[in-house]
Structure 1
Amino acid sequence: MKLAEDFRKLSNMACEDTQVDFEKIPLVALNMTVRKKLGLYLNPKHTVAADWSEVAEAMGFTYLEIQNYEGSRNPTRTILEDWQARNPEATVGKLLSILTEKDREDVVEDLRPLINEDVRKYCENLKKKAEPPLQVPEVDSCVPRTPERVGLTVDDDPEGVPELFDAFICYCQSDIAFVHEMIRELEQTEYKLKLCVFDRDVLPGSCVWTITSELIEKRCKRMVVVISDEYLDSDACDFQTKFALSLCPGARSKRLIPVIYKPMKKPFPSILRFLTICDYTRPCTQAWFWTRLGKALSLA
């Protein structure tokens, strides 16, 4: 009871002039320091205390999924990432409730100051984003006439409607030959889809992270992720994938579609494990590959 009362007080203190409900604070608010400490507590197998596997079960993961997580170097971090990606109800409050239900008050007590600080920072960032931007009066002709997020692509009209796409293609340079095949199969056939291929469609000169997020969130209905061993080593692909996942919790809008086109030596990314894959490597289903992908991208 004392622990619950302490957290109610923390909720009231987390943001200035704001009553904060931890049940409404998404898990993304917790930074790496908290996640690492959670791993230190939950990764070791215990005979008397609940470990990561019992927490994962309470989060809704199946027995088979939990067995697969046992091969991970940091299963606690992996289940937190997957839970956050697949479940819109993955909140700080829910995590604390699960730890309390599993009699891990020791973890909650130790991490309480860090969690409180993370929630405070998260609320401050939300407050800053909600504030209207400062309007600076135009004093001379040096003010840029074309903002950074206008005139991003080859066919953009700065004076008209921004160019829109059916799908953003997330790929690394070593997979460009398959991207060319995708263009032929999806743009130049009966599907008549419009794909956003960074090297072909995006104009040079702008901040790559800014324009990438703008394209994924506001210009493209979906995103195709070309998975390969090289993809796993790409920082740009990692950013694009996680950003797209954050826009569709639980994959409710079928926004992100993973594609495998060649055999892999490295493990499939765990953050995408819960999504249905379009697999080009299986000879028995290869004939249906482009039909399935084309239909998925044609959805309204």
Structure 2
Amino acid sequence: MACKPKIDFMTIPLKALNFTVRKRLGLYLNPRNVVAADWATLAEMMGFSYIEIKNYEKRDAPFEKILDDWESQCPDATVGKFLSMLEEAGRHDVVTDHIDLIEEDVRKYLEKMKEPVQVPDIDSWTPEKNGITIKDDPSGNVPETFDAFICYCQSDIEFVHEMIRQLEQTDHRLKLCVFDRDVLPGTCVWTITSELIEKRCKRMVVVISDDYLESEACDFQTKFALSLSPGAQKKRLIPVIYKTMKKPFPSILRFLTVCDYTRPCTQSWFWVRLAKALSLP
């Protein structure tokens, strides 16, 4: 029987680890441990600050969260670096019990990377992109563009309506991309969202709420926008808080200046500040 080729885990991005493996790792690392290193030790090794780690303590599954955040914030986060951290922290048991599953995930990832990429001429999504919003030119020659993509949860739709009134229907005359209003039905959500954020919208407003933190769609949109290079600098994300939150503010956005509607002393400036930020070239 032929031996499997050795894998250089240092070259494998952390995204190769699937949900099941991350969950199993969490069973070992989420419980606080006075004898062995736990998730907090790894968080410190990943570069998270004391305050951030204290906030992660409030999460039900802090290990999975720090792994996701480290992956999104550190371009060179690899499976090899993660395994080295576990070894350095003395958690050889975690490595031993999971190395076969991790290797299986990595081999699946490498096989997927070998799959041929469709060229634009035969890409099944290309025709759809020619008409994805209600005001798109059917010929695809003049795609509709926007000042900002609005990332929001359905539970926050009333605030989004207020945003439309304040930014589109006043002298600001901004053009917002609101998915439920502007995108044609029948399109692939993930593909079209990526197209809108990357190519059609100058910026992205993220409506932060407790429900936002649990939304898979909002999580994808935020991480996709942050991952754009050099788009992460050109497409400034603007976090907006409009009501008091019970959960901690998402650490992935902690370096960005927030537009906070919950502070009565600055509410009168809120819409002007937001409009100005969206109007910049």
Q: TM-score scaled by structure 2?
A: 0.82
Answer yes or no: is the 8 Å Cα contact 1:86–1:274 preserved in 2. Answer: no
Is 1:56–2:68 an aligned residue pair?
no
Alpha-carbon distance in structure 2 between the residues aligned to 1:135 and 1:232: 37
Task: State which of 268, 276, 281 in structure 2 corresponds to 1:287.
Answer: 268
Aligned with 1:168 (options 149, 157, 163) = 149
Distance verdict in 2 for CA 1:266–1:107, change over 3 Å: closer
1:299 CA drift (Å): 4.5
Indicate the percent of aligned positions where both proteins have the same amino acid: 70
* 1:39 corresponds to which of 9, 26, 33: 26
Query: Would the alpha carbon gap of residues 94 and 290 (structure 1) be closer, same or farther in structure 2, given more than 3 Å must change?
Result: farther
RMSD, aligned CA: 3.2
- Please give the alpha-carbon distance, in whole angstroms, between the structure 1 residues aligned to 2:279 and 2:9: 38
Distance in 1 separating the partners of 2:100 and 2:169: 57
1 CA distance for matches of 2:93 and 2:43?
18
Matched residue, 2:66? 79
Unpaired runs of at least 5, structure 2: none
CA contact (8 A) 1:78 1:270 kept: no
Contact 2:52–2:251 under 8 Å retained in 1 = no
Please show how residues 1-300 of structure 1 align to structure 2 within 5 Å.
13-14=6-7, 21-128=8-115, 130=117, 132=119, 147-159=127-139, 160-189=141-170, 191-232=172-213, 234-247=215-228, 252=233, 255-269=236-250, 271-273=252-254, 275-300=256-281
> In 2, are the aligned partners of 1:81 and 1:271 still within 8 Å (CA)?
no
Q: For residues 167-222 of structure 1, what are the alpha-carbon distances to aligned partners after superposition, in whole Å with 9 as ceiling and x for unaligned?
A: 11122344333223322333345654321112322122323333223222332232
Supply the distance in 1 between the matched residues of 2:107 and 2:37 (Cα, whole angstroms). Answer: 28
What amino acid is aligned across from residue 160 of structure 2 in structure 1? Answer: V
* CA gap 1:25/1:260 in 2 versus in 1, 3 angstroms: same
Q: Give the aligned residue type for 1:36.
A: K
* Residue ranges of structure 1 left out of the alignment (5+ in a row): 1-8, 15-20, 137-143
- Normalised to the residue count of structure 1, the TM-score between the two structures is 0.78
Quick one: structure 1 residues 117 and 152, their matched pair in 2 at CA, closer, same or farther if it must change by over 3 Å?
same
Count matched residues: 277
Task: Give me the whole-angstrom Cα distance separating, in 2, the residues matched to 1:135 and 1:108.
Answer: 43
Shift of the 152–94 alpha-carbon distance from structure 1 to 2, 3 Å rule, reads same
Give the match's secondary structure for 2:34. Answer: coil
SS for the counterpart of 2:238 is strand
